[in-house]
């Protein structure tokens, strides 16, 4: 059954190549629409724009666990190999909308502070179309 009402961010997940990215603490989908200026002398002094190129980015943070199926080491490998990856952003709940796109990792960072859990973060620049579908 589709999620209703306000829900916990814990329910939003990020999948990379069909595997849920392990131990994430946050994930963000950013969609952009470039708006080229179309102002003319006929605009009566007001700016006008047109819809231009759309783009997207996914960013994420998490805790490193080498035994996760999709983990920080695997992300490093995708970045170093310049591998185009498939990303799915949404919940796992049947009936909820999810966004799917291909992209390239633009950054992956692993941080190890003394007496703290090892963490990772990164971002994926999406390429091509971004589609919305419903979990079956």
Domain ranges of the chain: 11-36+49-131
Q: Tell whether the torsion through CA atoms of 17, 83, 89 and 8 is positive or negative.
A: positive
Q: Looking at the predicted structure, is the pLDDT value of residue 3 above 90?
A: no
Q: Looking at the predicted structure, is the pLDDT value of residue 83 above 80?
A: yes
**Against a cut of 0.85, is the pTM above it?**
yes
Q: Which CATH superfamily is domain 11-36+49-131 in?
A: Hcp1-like (2.30.110.20)
Question: What separation in angstroms does the CA of 51 have from each of 3, 41, 56?
Answer: 31, 20, 15
Q: Would you place residue 11 in the very low, low, confident or very high pLDDT band (cuts 50, 70, 90)?
A: very high
53-85 burial, b at 16+ Cβ within 10 Å, e below that, comes to eeebbbbbbbebeeebebbbebbbebbeeeeeb
């Amino acid at each position: 059954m589709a999620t209703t009402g306000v829900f916990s961010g814990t329910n939003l997940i990020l999948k990379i190549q069909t595997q849920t990215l392990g131990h994430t603490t946050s994930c963000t989908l950013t969609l952009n629409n470039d708006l080229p200026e179309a102002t003319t002398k006929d605009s009566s002094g007001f700016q006008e724009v047109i819809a231009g190129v759309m783009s997207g980015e996914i960013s994420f943070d998490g805790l490193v666990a080498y035994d996760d199926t999709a983990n920080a080491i695997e992300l490093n490998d995708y970045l170093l190999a310049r591998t185009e990856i498939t990303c799915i952003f949404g919940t796992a709940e049947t009936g909820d909308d999810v966004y799917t796109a291909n992209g390239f990792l633009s950054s992956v960072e692993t941080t190890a502070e003394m007496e703290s859990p090892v963490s990772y973060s990164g971002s994926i620049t999406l390429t091509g179309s971004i589609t919305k579908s419903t979990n079956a």
